[in-house]
Amino acid sequence: MSRNRGKLVRTTITIPASLKEKMSQAKTNWSEVVREMISQRLEEEGHPNMAEAIILNERVKRPAPRNWDSLKVIKQWRRRRTSS
């Protein structure tokens, strides 16, 4: 995360004691980890269409037909686009 974070505020989270014990054993700046994860999550939620597109893509994804030549198809589409 960048050094220029602006004003920092405190917040509290509740976690299981067993998790807290494991966290205490690690030499990690957990505040930084949590800040980064929250920022990442907010960024992802700011792009709901991207998440929806990924889910849709996973639903319709299927193996390519036998002997499929993707390079040939790309070249055909490029030729069509430039000839229009």
Map residue 48 onto helix, strand or coil: helix
Mean pLDDT within 57-63: 85
8 A C-beta contact, residue 50 and residue 15: no
Domain ranges of the chain: 16-61
Token pair, residue 56, equals 């849709």
pLDDT for residue 45 is more than 70:
yes
DSSP 41: H
Q: pLDDT-based confidence at 9, cuts 50/70/90? A: confident
**Length, in residues, of the chain:** 84
| Amino acid identity for residue 46 in this structure | G
Average pLDDT value over all residues in the chain: 86
Question: Which residue has better confidence, 66 or 48?
Answer: 66
Predicted confidence band of residue 8 (pLDDT cuts 50, 70, 90)? confident
How many Cβ atoms sit within 10 Å of the Cβ of residue 9?
5
- pLDDT, tens digit, 9 for 90 and up, residues 27-40: 999 999 999 999 88
Residue 55: C-alpha distances to residues 8, 45, 48, 58 (Å): 35, 14, 11, 5
